[in-house]
Each structure stands twice: as structure tokens, then as C-alpha cells.
Amino acid sequence: QVQLVGSGGGSVQAGDSLRLSCAASGRTFSSYVMGWFRQAPGKEREFVTYITRSGANTYYVDSVKGRFTISRDDAKNTVYLQMNSLKPEDTAVYYCAASSRPSISTRNYDYWGQGTQVTVSS
């Protein structure tokens, strides 16, 4: 089992950057695909990005390509989301999640962090 704790959210201006972190407990972190999702008020939770077990492969939703970067440090049991050139439409609660396989669907993620708020003002 994996427990995930997300952090690093905050309130920023458009164009600013933030880095989210998600720390995992347990010794099997490296065996999971790690993803980030987000949920804006009144909307469904949506996929943002994932990184495979080896870290060699990543996948992003089109709206964040070129602005967001996912990375992982298996020695620290942590996955990161570097967010640059933030836009007001990036405002949401961001969740990290762990899956046994690469997927953009929330249904395929078994473990979830508690969420961290990101607010971008214009």
C-alpha cells in the first residue's frame, strides 16, 4: 500500500511558477506509475500528466505541454510537478496518484494524495 502526501500549492500571478511535490510512504514507490490530476470548482477531475516507473516516459495533456514538467526521485519516494507560465485556467486542486500502469483515467489509479490548491490570478 502507498500513502501519498501532496504539497507546494499556493496563490500566484499569471506567468509565475510553482513546484508541487508528492511524497510517498512505503518501499514500493518505484514500482508505480505516478500521475497528477486536477479538479477545478464545478468540474470533474482531469488528467494532467504521468511518469512511468523508470522515469523514461512521460505524457501530458495538451493544455500543459511545454509548461509543466513531471519528474520523480525514487530515492526520495517523491514525484514533482514543475509548473511554469501558469494561467488562470490552471487554477484547481491538484492531486497526485499512483497506478500499476500508465493511464490517463482516474479509474486506473489506486492511491491518491489529499490534494493541494493552486490558484492563479490574472
> How confident is the model over 82-93, as pLDDT tens digits?
999 999 999 999
* Cβ neighbourhood burial of 105 (10 Å; 0-12, 13-18, 19+): exposed
Distance CA 6, CA 84 (A): 18
**CB of 97 within 8 A of CB of 112?**
yes
What pLDDT, on the 0 to 100 scale, is given for residue 4?
97
Give the contacts of 101 (CB within 8 A, at least 6 positions apart).
33, 108
The string of pLDDT tens digits covering residues 92-115 is 999 999 999 999 999 999 999 999
Q: Which residues of the chain have pLDDT under 50?
A: none
* Cβ neighbourhood burial of 91 (10 Å; 0-12, 13-18, 19+): middle
